[in-house]
Amino acid sequence: MEIWINPACSKCRSAVGLLDAEGAEYTVRRYLEDVPDEDEIRAVLGRLGLEPWDITRTQETEAKELGLKGWPRDESARDRWVAALAAHPRLIQRPLITADDGSAVVARTEEAVREALARSPRG
């Protein structure tokens, strides 16, 4: 399993703490430093079953500068949203956990982290 985190984020630290407490095997990806490209973002969206606007932090300064709130949220704008997430990774909701069964979750709650744990074998 892999978890995409921003170490400055309290929800990310909580998720990592829970994974550690449960003895999970995982890889940390500091996605602001190891920025996912558009294909990786599309793959995670597919695993999440979500659209790019569903995982976009629209309150971030970059989102306001780009005017994301006014962007269409439909198939015609999907690539534009994905490109924005790749160019401005701070906009990606965090933490994201990709589970070993091919699924993924936005792990902002303890329940979501436990859902990812249930989908991955323990170490």
Task: Tally the C-alpha atoms within 13 A of residue 102's C-alpha that lie toward its C-beta.
Answer: 1
In the annotation, is 12 catalytic?
A: no
Burial (0-12, 13-18, 19+ Cβ within 10 Å), 48: middle
Residues making up the chain, counted from first to last: 123
Which residue out of 2, 6, 8, 9 is catalytically annotated? 9
The rounded distance, in Å, linking the Cα atoms of 111 and 72 is: 31
Catalytic positions are 9
